[in-house]
Structure 1
Amino acid sequence: MTDSTTSPAPEKSLDLSRYASQLRSGSEKNQLQLLHELAFLGEAGWELLREFLLERRGLEARLVEGKAYQLLYQNEEGANSEFLATYFPHGVVSVRSERGLDYTPLQQLLAQCDFQAADKLTMQNLCQLAGPNAVQRKWLYFTEVDKLPIGDLQAIDRLWRVYSEGKFGLTVQREIWLGVGKNWDKMWPKIGWKQGNNWTRYPHQFTWDLTAPRGHLPLFNQLRGVRVFEKLLSHPAWD
């Protein structure tokens, strides 16, 4: 006699096995989709996410690891918090600062998808890298940009890219800028900073989540001209 009460268990196990296999070998697009699905499978899904992230520990974080960490970080379940505190206390992205800055707060804000607060902190970090005068005025002169450390700019960009599924970051903005032939009038509408003749107003008209146009964040004040932004997108960090 077949015990029908036990039949669902192998099916669920098989599904999780399929998830595990595709998570490790699928395309990046499919992997990101699978991560979102796993977040709705309860503890079994969380356990698979933790196992996957632990396997990737010590390797350079990609978009998939960033999203896995993000989902675990945003979940209140105790096992996830304990796991991250034990194995990834500073985040899944390993970054270093040539000037001794701690990028853990920025990483935490991006992991929370608090992109507005992360944007403000990014500008604060850039001013700290530029020096006390920039810190006091709270914005950069274009002449200060070339002095920003290559490693720090790359670190800030990596954090933004990894925790935005590749939508935000300086290199994303640079790619768009080069793609329109460095034409600012074509760039602004593509990244959502201008619509028609109207500049997007800060902060309420900007989009602070992943529904924003590609390259929408981080922000730089175009009202002071484009020289700072141009210098950032032309920095030796991207050579």
Structure 2
Amino acid sequence: MAKIALLIGVSEYEPELNPLPAAVKDIKAMQRVLQHPDIGGFAEADIKILENPQRQVMEEAIETLFSERNKDDMVLLYFSGHGIKDDRGRLFLTTSETRKNSKGELIRATATAASKIHEDMENSRSRQQVIILDCCFSGAFATGMSAKDDDNLDIKKQLVETNKPEEVQGRVVITSSTATQYSFEQQGSELSIYTHYLVEGIEKGTADTDNDGVISVDELHEYARKKVQEAASAMKPGIFAVMQGYKIQLAKAPKSNSKLIKQHSDNDDLSSKKQVDYRHLRDLLKAGKWKQADQETLVVMLEAADRVQKGRLSGKSIENFPCTDLRTLDQLWVKYSNGHFGFSVQKRIWERVGKDLEKFIDRVGWLQTGMFKSEYRRSYDEYSFTINAPKGHLPAAYSIKTEKTAISLIKAVYPMPLVVASTLGLYDLDSAIKSERLNETLFFRIEACEL
């Protein structure tokens, strides 16, 4: 399998558009990490660089990138420059000759349409396609920054959707901002904000959040997104994928990174909006006492959600769960399990199985097969409280606590499918369903809290 990349940076423009000095530096930085033999693994000959190209040159290079490929090749297209739309809201990537007419409208013949790139992707035999857009549009947004990108751009529709998804093993687009927000190039900085954190996540290995030695597209996106929003809160990088695009592996994490991850600091962020004390949970996780830590997680979640007297969480309490506390809980679990456990880990697994709860519960090892080959939730004592448990197996007590009837008792007395047991009045199936939906509600809350 070959790995081929086309890196395009446009810094120089016609007078109608502001120059972007960082754009050509962005592609050099991306080239450095991609062709590093121990990181990106791209052969030097398989990375093409275009600086300030004219439209025809740029379009020919993009078409060649996608057309001369085998089905097992991985193709990466990176663009840093101005993104602009025409009067019909269609996205164009600018070139060095991009201009506007006297009315301030884009002269389309001077820029590359997203639809043209989409067509090249559709016609390609490559089944692993990665698009990275650090797109920008002119206009000052704040002092010291120049605005990048324009609003009302439906990037997902224009670049990701495909007429033949069954032929695509993985297609993914990650962008510096959403369709309705701006991204920025900070004056005085060598690289654009977005590309800076993409390169940092790859080069330092810090984007390898699950510590498995490789950096997938979704891991890189999550790392860059969090860092970008710390630096420029108005930016919200986006990710759009078809089929298994999230899972495409872009790079290997530097070997030194695994050592850095395991060197835990006691200086944990234990912030809480509800004044919850997370020190005991931290100490349990640090000691690898997974079952006690899981039970303590439920205790502190009940406290943070004002549900101590109720003794269990509800969908509404999860919907309103303090983001500060959710972030603290997740960071502790992820840190002390080396990326093996945690709410955000569970959420990524849920996304990878198409947001199918049954597949998610099976993937994290929460199901038990009965004598009728009907799968149902394990009782709590049957969970695995070791680091060798399936990835995302913990935390778990927060969802199990919503069930009113112990599944272990049902299994011992009535070894039959739960639907049958429910029909006979032996099992509260509605309560079990609520338990599973709590997981889904939590994942949506994680999205809202931008973990």
Q: TM-score, normalised by structure 1?
A: 0.61
Distance in 1 of aligned mates of 2:317 and 2:437: 11
Specify the alignment match of 2:336 in structure 1: 163
2:273 equivalent to 1:98: yes
Distance in 2 of aligned mates of 1:137 and 1:218: 20
Q: Using the TM superposition, give the Cα deviation of residue 92 of structure 1 relative to its aligned residue in structure 2, in angstroms.
A: 3.7
Distance in 1 of aligned mates of 2:335 and 2:262: 8
Query: Are the counterparts in 1 of residues 357 and 440 from structure 2 also a CA contact under 8 Å?
Result: no
Q: Using the TM superposition, give the Cα deviation of residue 154 of structure 1 relative to its aligned residue in structure 2, in angstroms.
A: 0.6
Higher strand share: 2
2:238 equivalent to 1:238: no
Aligned partner letter, 1:156: L
2:330 counterpart SS class: helix
Deviation larger for 229-238 or 117-126: 229-238
Q: How does 1:216-227 map to 2 (within 5 A)?
A: 216-219=393-396, 220-221=399-400, 223=403, 224=431, 225=434, 226-227=436-437
Structure 1 unaligned runs (5+)? 1-24, 34-61, 70-87
Q: How does 1:1-239 map to 2 (within 5 A)?
A: 67-69=262-264, 91-131=266-306, 134-196=307-369, 197-203=375-381, 205-219=382-396, 220-221=399-400, 223=403, 224=431, 225=434, 226-235=436-445, 236-238=448-450
Q: Using the TM superposition, give the Cα deviation of residue 137 of structure 1 relative to its aligned residue in structure 2, in angstroms.
A: 2.3
Q: Using the TM superposition, give the Cα deviation of residue 175 of structure 1 relative to its aligned residue in structure 2, in angstroms.
A: 0.5
Aligned partner letter, 2:442: L
Deviation per CA, 1:44-97, whole angstroms, max 9, x where unpaired? xxxxxxxxxxxxxxxxxx98556334xxxxxxxxxxxxxxxxxx6xx2422311
Distance in 2 of aligned mates of 1:189 and 1:98: 34
Structure 2 unaligned runs (5+)? 1-202, 213-256, 370-374, 404-430
Aligned partner letter, 1:112: A
Assess, with a 3 A threshold, how the Cα gap between structure 1 residues 65 and 126 changes in structure 2: closer, same or farther. farther
Distance in 2 of aligned mates of 1:96 and 1:63: 26
Distance in 1 of aligned mates of 2:261 and 2:267: 7
Aligned partner letter, 1:108: D
Q: TM-score, normalised by structure 2?
A: 0.33
Distance in 2 of aligned mates of 1:190 and 1:122: 22
Aligned partner letter, 1:166: G
Assess, with a 3 A threshold, how the Cα gap between structure 1 residues 64 and 121 changes in structure 2: closer, same or farther. farther
Deviation larger for 169-178 or 140-149: 140-149
Aligned partner letter, 1:67: K
Assess, with a 3 A threshold, how the Cα gap between structure 1 residues 129 and 113 changes in structure 2: closer, same or farther. same
1:195 counterpart SS class: strand
Distance in 2 of aligned mates of 1:27 and 1:157: 20
Distance in 1 of aligned mates of 2:291 and 2:267: 21
Distance in 2 of aligned mates of 1:68 and 1:181: 34
Assess, with a 3 A threshold, how the Cα gap between structure 1 residues 147 and 128 changes in structure 2: closer, same or farther. same
Query: Are the counterparts in 1 of residues 365 and 390 from structure 2 also a CA contact under 8 Å?
Result: yes
Higher helix share: 1
Distance in 1 of aligned mates of 2:260 and 2:282: 13
Aligned partner letter, 2:309: Q
2:348 counterpart SS class: helix
Assess, with a 3 A threshold, how the Cα gap between structure 1 residues 214 and 180 changes in structure 2: closer, same or farther. same
2:383 counterpart SS class: coil
Report which structure shows greater RCO (CA 8 Å, sep ≥6).
1
Query: Are the counterparts in 2 of residues 141 and 228 from structure 1 also a CA contact under 8 Å?
Result: yes
Distance in 1 of aligned mates of 2:261 and 2:308: 30
Assess, with a 3 A threshold, how the Cα gap between structure 1 residues 27 and 66 changes in structure 2: closer, same or farther. closer
Which has more radius of gyration?
Answer: 2
